[in-house]
Amino acid sequence: MQSGTYRIGRFAALLAILLLITGSVFSVHAQGGTLRIGAVAPTVLDPALGSNDPEILFNRSIYDYLVEVLPDRSIAPNLAKSWTISEDGLTYTFTLEDGVKFHDGSDFSSADVVYTFNRLVTIESPAVNLLGEFAVSAPDAATVVFTLTSPNADFLYGVANQLALIVKDGAETPNELASGDNPYANFNGTGPFTLTEYKEGESATLTKNATYWKEGQPLLDTIQFQFINDPVTQVNALKSGEVDFIFKISPDQVSGLETESGISLIQTTTNQHPVIRLRTDQGPGTDVKVRQAFKYATDRAELNDLVLEGRGTIGNNDPIGPGYATFFDADIQVQEYDPEKAKALLAEAGYPDGLNITLQTINVLGYDTLATVLQQQWALAGINAEIQVNEEGFYYDDSNPDNWLKADLGITGWGDRPIPQGYLAEAYTTEGIYNETHWSDPALDELIQQASITADPAARAAIYNQISEIFNESGPIIIPWFAPIFSATRENVSGLTVAPFPGLTDLRGVSVS
C-alpha cells in the first residue's frame, strides 16, 4: 500500500512538473508566434525613399526612428530617449539610448544619426520637406544637435518622418541585395526584426532580433510578408487563414468581413484621402476655369455614398481635413454639383464640345470604383474620361515613365499625416518633392512658409484658412472624402494597434497565439 501511494505521489509530482513545463512553453509561445501579413509587394526598398504603406511597414520593422509618431499623433522617444529645444527654437539637442546595436553587431552612435539625416538631404528624400534647412552634428557619441536656420514649429515631426529611419554611418546601398553568403547584409538596422529571407514579388521573412535594445520586445518570433497585389485576393487569403493581418481594405470588402467568423475588423480614424487632381503646367489643367469645371462636375456626397457607403467625411478641396479640429475651415462654400455650370466653364476655356481626357487611378481602397463613378458624373458635364487602372506599387514607382507625378489627370491616395503641414510642404509648394499637380502659386508658398514658423494654434489656423480659400478658388485638386482605414486580423492576433498611416503600425508589442 505504501509502495502504491509512493508511485501515485511520484506520478502526480511528475505530472505537475510536466504541466508546469508545458504551461511555460505554451505561455512563451502565446507571447511570440508568427504574424503573416498580406500586403502589396514593395517596389522601392530604400528606407529613405519608399512611399507606400507596405514599404514603410517593411522598413519600420527592420530599422528604428530617432523619435516616432504615436497613433494619437503625439511625438514619443525612441532611439533618442530625451531632447531639449533652445529658447529661440533654433537648436534641438537629442540624447541617445545606451547599448543599442545594429544587426551586424556594431554599436549605434550619434554618427549614424548625422549620416542618416545628411543622406536624406543628399538623395533628396521627401523627408526633407518638413525638416526645412538644418545642420546636424555630434558633439559626442551619445548626443546629436540639430541647428536650424529659422524656427520650424513642426521640426520634431520632420525628425519622425516615416522615411527618417536610422541607417548605419557609411551605408551607401541600404536595402540592396548583396552577392555572396550574406545577401541581406545591407538590411542593417537597429530594429526589432532582421531580414532572413526575401523573394522579390513573393514574400519576405523577418526574424526576431534577440538583442533588441527595448527590453521585452519584440514579442513575435517571426513576421512573414506575403506579397499579394490584388485587394480581393488579400481578403480571401485572410478568410482562408493564409494570412493573419491585412490593411487598407477596399470599401466594397468591408461589409463582408464584419460578420466573418474568426476575423476582427479594425476601423481607424484618419485623414487619409484620395486626391483627384489635374496637372497645371500642361494639358487642360493649366486653365483655372477647367479646374473649376471639374469641381462643379463632381458630386462629392454621391461619391461618398456610392463608393464608401457613407463612411467618409466630406471636407473642403484641400488636404486639411475636419480631423484637424480648429485648423479646418468649416465656413468655406465649396462648389455645389452643377453639370451645366461645368459645361459653361469648359466652353469659356475653349472646350465648347466637351473635353476628352485619360483618368489614371490605382486598384486599392476602391479608387478604381471611384474612377468609374466620376466617369459617369463627369459625362453629364461634357468631360469624357477614359479610365486607366494601375497596380499601386507600379503607379507610385518613380522609374515608371507614366508614374503618378506625370499624369495629366489622376487619382492619388494620400495617407494620414499627423499635421497638415506634412501635406502642404510635400505636395503643394512650388518645390515640393511630391508636387504631382506641378502647381506654383507664390501666395500659397508664402502662406505655407508662414505656417511652418507659427507655433500659436489660433494664428496658424488663420493661415490655414487662407490656404483653404486659395485651394477652393484656383486649386487643381478635388477631395471627395476623408476616410477611415479598415484593417482586419485573425482572432489569434493580439496587441495590434493600426496607425492612421498603416505603414507606421508598431509590431513590437504584437503576438500570435
pLDDT at 129: 83
pLDDT tens-digit readout, 348-371: 999 999 999 999 999 888 899 999
pLDDT at 20: 41
Residue 48 grid cell: 529613405
DSSP letter (8 states) at residue 510: -
Q: What mean pLDDT is reported for the chain?
A: 91
Q: Does the pLDDT at position 17 exceed 60?
A: no
Number of Cβ atoms within 10 Å of the Cβ of 143: 16
Task: Decide: residue 494, CB within 10 A, 0-12 exposed, 13-18 middle, 19+ buried.
Answer: middle
Q: How far is CA 435 from the centre of its chain?
A: 17
Greatest Cα pair distance in the chain = 108
Please, what are the domains in the chain? 54-159 (3.90.76.10), 270-484 (3.10.105.10)
Share of the chain above pLDDT 70, in %: 94
Q: Does the pLDDT at position 336 exceed 50?
A: yes
* pTM, full prediction: 0.79
- What lies within 8 Å, CB to CB, of 2 at 6+ separation is none
pLDDT tens-digit readout, 371-405: 999 999 999 999 999 999 988 888 888 788 778 89
Q: Which amino acid is at 176?
A: E
pLDDT tens-digit readout, 80-107: 999 999 999 999 999 999 999 999 999 9
Q: Does the pLDDT at position 15 exceed 90?
A: no
Q: Which amino acid is at 94?
A: F
Nearest to residue 42, comparing CAs of 391, 279, 324? 391
Judge contact between 255 and 503, C-beta under 8 A: no
Task: State the residue for C-alpha cell 459645361.
Answer: 343
pLDDT tens-digit readout, 271-302: 999 999 999 999 999 999 999 999 999 999 99
Average pLDDT over residues 204-211: 97
